[in-house]
Amino acid sequence: MKILGLFRHAKSDWNDARLRDFDRPLNARGRKGADVMGRHIREHGIAFQRVLASPAVRVTQTIEISAQSAGGSPPVIWDRRIYLANSATLMEVLREQEGDPAAIIMVGHNPGLEDLIFDLVPDDGSSPLRDVVEEKFPTAAYAVLELAIERWSDIADNCARLVHLIRPRDLDPDLGPQPAD
């Protein structure tokens, strides 16, 4: 069995129209969300051996803030393919992982992360949290999947159970939907 954490970047700032999408930083709510989620990920207790991450600014800041709140981070592998990737690309990145770490966390973007959950977790009622993801996998959401595989190269559709899902609003009501969301 392998463990896959999926962590969507925190809320980003849309105020500077001159910035490329890739260069958008976190806004104040995003920084707070990354902090809250970093503490939760630490308290949840999974010892991730590797972080796979998009190099977009909002992801790098999410990792920096959440790692500080969590008291550190495993090694980060920055992979440009994760930036705005679809589920098939994300699975390919996971299949390429060498050394077969027991637990990996991927930090990136929607709709790719959400679609990855839909592809990995069967829609058969075995993971009730899947229905919550169908409603929305919001910014800074964190999901944990148990994959019935021995090697990352074996990852395939319907090989996982969604066993944990937490959104920033579940930990701090002030981080819930706002009128502009």
Q: Position of tokens 């595989």?
A: 149
Task: Work out how many domains the chain is built from and give that number.
Answer: 1
In a domain, 180, yes or no: no
Look-up of token digits 């839909």: 118
Which residues 6+ apart lie within 8 Å of 121 measured at CB?
127, 130, 145, 158, 160, 161, 162
Tokens of residue 171, six digits = 């930990």
Contacts of residue 159, defined as CB under 8 A and 6 or more positions apart, other chains included, come to 120, 147, 148, 149
- For residue 98, what is the domain's CATH number? 3.40.50.1240
What's the average pLDDT block by block, 10 residues per block, for the chain (181 residues)?
Answer: 98 88 95 97 95 98 96 93 97 96 98 98 91 94 98 97 96 80 49
Range of the domain at 130: 2-175
CB 108 within 8 A of CB 9: yes
pLDDT of 180: 57
